[in-house]
Amino acid sequence: MRVLVALSGGVDSSVAAALVAEQYGRDQVVGATLKLWGGASDSGCCSVADVEDARRVADQLGLVHHVFNFAAGFDERVVDPYVRGHAEGRTPNPCIECNRHLKFDRLLERARTLGFDAVATGHHARRVTTAEGRFRLCRGADPLKDQSYVLAMLGQDQLARTVFPVGELTKGQVRDEARRLGLRTAGKPDSQDVCFIRADQGRAAFLASRIPLHPGRLVDHETGEDLGPVEAVELVTVGQRRGMGHATDGKRRFVTAVDIANRRVSIGSPEAAHASDVRLHTVSWVDGAPAGLGGLGGPGGPHHGAGGADVGDEADVGAEAGVAVLAQCSAHGHPVPSSVQLVGDELSIVFGAPQRRVAPGQTVALYDPDHPDTVVGSGIAG
């Protein structure tokens, strides 16, 4: 089997490359680094140093190494929507959109064109094949490093051509393997920030260079009382606590809504910052919608881009009863028992207990309550 390994310059993808080379032979494995961001970068998988680390790891492993320039697609599919989202009061997740449109769409297509059977990545997730030959997306072995949340948009087409070699390993085991092999990335820290925003620049300066930022007013969530100024409404996100000040009672205040048009940011108590439900769009399923949601993209149904079936295509609108799921609202959040139901062309999630409000633009990943490690699908909060 010929495998194209996505080498980001980090320890996880380095060990992934070593494992597939050991399994299939070096002559069957090629490393590829994606040039995504055309501007200056000092973190993530977009910096010059990371590309050089990837090249040197490939050399250490005896692999051919290529660099694919996907910068135009990255701007169109990741950076521009990120900026536009903030201008419209949303908080997009650029890593998820990069996975959706670049790593598990453009890269898979490039691999197919070049004659590769599969793409390997360093994600901490597992692909499980069922007795029927279907694919399941499951959490990685290391609960602290699990990345199934950021892959929850994947469908059968993508999983059929993707492998996750480090998914069965803990992070400690990955580093031990890298040290055993003498890889230069063995002790390299994990990237934490948005790769196209420099640490010395920050989100505010990055956005200010691309869109106008407008001062606004803080208002009380319950009464509408004016509570003072906010520097830029485009920089505020639902659920934010820091920078929102305190009321005279000394209690913490959280953002409950961002109104860009009227330049108002509503803030309220921790109780007001919670919600009992959320609506999702851009819904995708790993292997068809759960039974009970009607004809919403069953097995073998249509897929859109790198995701599963879109909620608007085959939906039997108005399913009578909710379907049980576990909903995870952030990359490191705790999944909570919930129910999902079709409402028009959106998916409504009702939480078993109120949760911190999900910022518009953020992804909610859905897991199987009977198999809590198994991803069912995902959607984006409206």
Q: Cα separations (Å) of 104 from 136, 154, 161, 238, 336?
A: 16, 8, 9, 29, 27
Residue reference for tokens 């934490």: 192
Residues of the chain falling short of pLDDT 70? 39-47, 245-250, 294-321
Residue reference for tokens 């330049």: 263
CB-CB contact of 381 with 358 (8 Å): yes
Do 39 and 74 have their domain in common? yes
Do 101 and 36 have their domain in common? yes
CB-CB contact of 265 with 257 (8 Å): yes
Evaluate whether residue 101 is within a structural domain.
Answer: yes
Host domain of residue 89: 3-122+165-181
3-class DSSP state of 97: helix
Return the pLDDT at 244: 72
Return the pLDDT at 312: 32
> How many separate domains does the chain show?
3
Do 171 and 26 have their domain in common? yes
Evaluate whether residue 216 is within a structural domain.
Answer: yes
Return the pLDDT at 44: 53
Do 31 and 176 have their domain in common? yes
Name the β-bridge partners of 363: 380
Evaluate whether residue 156 is within a structural domain.
Answer: no
Evaluate whether residue 348 is within a structural domain.
Answer: yes
46 noted as active-site residue? no
3-class DSSP state of 24: helix
Where does residue 354 fall: left (phi above 0), alpha (psi -120 to 50 degrees), or beta otherwise?
Answer: beta
What value, to the nearest 5°, has the Cα angle with vertex 341 and ends 338 and 347?
A: 95
Domain end marker among 268, 297, 314: 268
Do 47 and 102 have their domain in common? yes
CATH number at residue 333: 2.40.30.10
Do 118 and 56 have their domain in common? yes
Do 44 and 90 have their domain in common? yes
Rg (CA), the chain: 22
Residue reference for tokens 């996907």: 70
CATH number at residue 98: 3.40.50.620
Contact residues for 98 (Cβ-Cβ < 8 A; gap 6+): 36, 74, 77, 78
Return the pLDDT at 294: 58
What is the spatial distance between Cα 31 and Cα 111, in angstroms, rounded to a whole number? Answer: 11
Active site residue: 45, 95, 138, 195, which one?
Answer: 195
Return the pLDDT at 304: 37
CATH number at residue 254: 2.30.30.280
Do 250 and 290 have their domain in common? no
Please give the model's pTM, rounded to 2 decimal places: 0.90
Do 84 and 222 have their domain in common? no
What's the pLDDT tens digit per position in 229-285?
999 999 999 999 887 765 555 678 899 999 999 999 999 999 999 999 999 999 999
The alpha carbon of residue 342 and the mean position of all alpha carbons in its chain are separated, in whole angstroms, by 23
For residue 199, how many other CB atoms are within 10 A of its CB? 10
195 noted as active-site residue? yes
Do 283 and 345 have their domain in common? yes
Active site residue: 45, 46, 95, 98, which one?
Answer: 98
Evaluate whether residue 136 is within a structural domain.
Answer: no
CB-CB contact of 282 with 380 (8 Å): yes
Do 286 and 364 have their domain in common? yes
Domain end marker among 248, 268, 288: 268
Return the pLDDT at 199: 81
Do 39 and 171 have their domain in common? yes
Q: Cα separations (Å) of 254 from 87, 247, 332?
A: 20, 11, 19
